[in-house]
């Protein structure tokens, strides 16, 4: 009898400890923020975005639901968007001044603050996977240009010719942008041609938060311009003690305002709510003349999807599988 009592008590303690280890899972993604207005969208195009966003978020969610790590959920959700010409990442990315594609991406692991990034890659098919490989298989955090491409080849990561990434739509945007004479860097057309970056933040059953972001940067970029996306703390950040954040928008302003870390710091030092923290940081972006948006999850799975542009492609799935997919302002 005494033995049975000890056995049952042990079983009870064991099952309690399993339960307390089970965190609520969640995943959020974005496909860029900008002047996305319903009146400029055809129903077909809108539908294509909704379908792709749903495919991406469900891909990540299924991994989490099966007990998989947030790293895999973020990577696979982003790869779906990188492989779609709809977004400014991977195939369909925006073009540089010399009609090429140059890709940036980063990944951060909130468990140990490990991070990896690539910038200015010409050949990496799925930059998010290369960013993860930099984190896991190199002693560095950020590799650039030829070095990033050489690293990918050495590690057996898929590479493709630069022409693989180029689409008619992006070629037309670049050419019409170049046809505008005396363009100013404050020109709204130039500003609006910047957007379409993709990103994801996920929290898994063990409470580990991961964040990833991937982009072609800005249309007509020149002189090897690199934006906020591969800069840890600017376009991407994750820390299990507070949150994960992925940003999209006018990269120069996201670098200057260290946006992703600024949100995390408010939560860490001021115990600020993740939505308020996002609004505060986006206000700072606005104050320096920029705009854009952020997505993120805090350590309890609370979601943020804030932006100060007309729209942001975005989706969220919570622990119970409830799904939200949106493009425009509420």
Q: Give the catalytic positions in this structure.
A: 197
CB of 264 to ligand ASP, least distance (A): 18
Q: Which is nearer to ligand ASP, 215 or 239 (CB)?
A: 215
Q: Which is nearer to ligand ASP, 252 or 298 (CB)?
A: 252
| DSSP calls for 177-225 | HHHSTT--TT-HHHHHTT---EEEEEE-TT--EEEEEEE---TTB-TT-
**Rounded distance, CA 164 to CA 24, Å?**
39
Q: Which is nearer to ligand ASP, 270 or 329 (CB)?
A: 329
CB of 199 to ligand ASP, least distance (A): 8
Q: Are strands 323-328 and 311-317 parallel, antiparallel or unpaired?
A: antiparallel
CB of 206 to ligand ASP, least distance (A): 30
Looking at residue 37, the DSSP 8-state letter turns out to be -
Q: Which is nearer to ligand ASP, 83 or 273 (CB)?
A: 83
Binding site for ligand ASP (CB under 6 A): 32, 88, 194-197, 215, 217-218, 227-229, 235, 248-249, 251, 254
Residues 6+ apart with CB under 8 A from 89: 78, 81, 82, 103, 105, 127, 196, 197, 198, 214, 215, 216
Comparing every residue's Cβ against ligand ASP, the nearest one is 251
Asked if residues 118 and 104 have their Cβ atoms less than 8 Å apart, the reply is yes
Tokens linked to 73? 């959920």
CB of 32 to ligand ASP, least distance (A): 5
């Amino acid at each position: 009898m005494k033995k049975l009592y000890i056995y049952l008590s042990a079983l009870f303690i064991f099952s309690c400890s399993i339960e307390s280890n089970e965190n609520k899972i969640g995943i959020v993604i974005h496909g860029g923020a900008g002047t996305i207005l319903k009146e400029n969208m055809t129903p077909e195009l809108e539908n294509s975005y909704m379908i792709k966003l749903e495919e991406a978020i469900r891909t990540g969610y299924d991994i989490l639901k099966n007990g998989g790590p947030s790293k895999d959920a973020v990577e696979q959700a982003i790869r779906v968007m990188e492989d779609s010409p709809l977004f400014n990442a991977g195939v369909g990315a925006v073009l540089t001044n010399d009609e090429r594609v140059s890709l940036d991406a980063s990944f951060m692991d909130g468990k140990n603050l490990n991070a990896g990034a690539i910038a200015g890659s010409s050949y990496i098919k799925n930059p998010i996977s290369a960013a993860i490989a930099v984190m896991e298989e190199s002693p560095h955090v950020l590799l650039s240009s030829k070095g990033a491409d050489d690293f990918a080849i050495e590690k057996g990561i898929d590479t493709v010719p630069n022409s693989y990434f180029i689409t008619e739509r992006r070629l037309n945007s670049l050419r019409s942008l170049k046809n505008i004479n005396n363009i100013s860097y404050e020109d709204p057309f130039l500003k609006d041609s910047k957007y379409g970056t993709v990103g994801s933040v996920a929290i898994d059953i063990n409470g580990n938060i991961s964040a990833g972001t991937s982009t072609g940067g800005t249309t007509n970029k020149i002189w090897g311009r690199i934006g906020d996306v591969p800069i840890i703390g600017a376009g991407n950040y994750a820390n299990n003690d507070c949150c994960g954040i992925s940003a999209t928008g006018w990269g120069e302003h996201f670098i200057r305002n260290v946006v992703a870390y600024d949100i995390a710091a408010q939560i860490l030092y001021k115990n600020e709510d993740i939505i308020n923290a996002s609004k505060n940081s986006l206000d700072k972006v606005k104050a320096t003349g920029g705009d854009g948006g952020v997505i993120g999850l805090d350590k309890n799975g609370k979601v943020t999807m804030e932006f100060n542009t007309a729209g942001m492609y975005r989706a969220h799935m919570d622990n119970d599988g409830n799904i939200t997919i949106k493009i425009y302002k509420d």
